[in-house]
Amino acid sequence: MSNTFDGEGLFPKGEKNEAFAKYFTGTSYLEMLSTEGVFIANVTFEPGCRNWWHIHHEGGQILLVTGGRGWYQEAGKPARELHPGNVVNIPPETKHWHGAAKDSWFAHVAVEVPAEDRSNEWVAPVTDEEYDALD
């Protein structure tokens, strides 16, 4: 599949995601689209970049894929390949990760589902063995 997405998409790519860099393998970019009422962010991943296994406590998260090709995986389940237009509903308390394919930039809009006492727990990196098994 030919991929011409270069990280510049529907929403601004933003700055390098330094605030959360320690929870990513590779380089990502973050542009906050809304911080009023509902936190909404455009997250862009360079090829091969992925975030760590993590859990959203309480509200959960919704991902709206806007560019490139990537992956989403819940613990104990097979990874799901993602393309523009895909929607991922992540229930609270679900251990998961998401990120770019090895050969493609990837972007999604991340929507935090509002909830009282919501938090995010970063668990562990996605190992190279786990990631390399996908392609």
- pLDDT tens sequence across 33-75: 999 989 999 999 999 999 999 999 999 999 999 999 999 999 9
List the chain domain ranges.
15-70+86-115
| Confidence grade of residue 3 (pLDDT, cut at 50, 70, 90) | low
Q: In this structure, what token pair is assigned to residue 50?
A: 């992925």
Counting Cα atoms < 13 Å in the Cβ hemisphere of 52 gives 14
Helices (H), the chain: 128-132
User: How far is it, in rounded angstroms, from Cα 45 to Cα 104?
Assistant: 9
Q: What is the pLDDT of residue 2?
A: 41
Q: Does position 25 have pLDDT exceeding 80, yes or no?
A: yes
Of 21-25, 45-49, 103-107, 112-116, the one with minimum mean pLDDT is 112-116
Q: Domain 15-70+86-115 class?
A: mainly beta
**pTM for the whole thing?**
0.92
Strand partners, 60: none
Residue 38 to residue 20: CA distance in whole angstroms: 19
Residue 1 has what pLDDT?
Answer: 40
What mean pLDDT value characterizes the chain?
A: 94
Of 7 and 122, more confident: 122
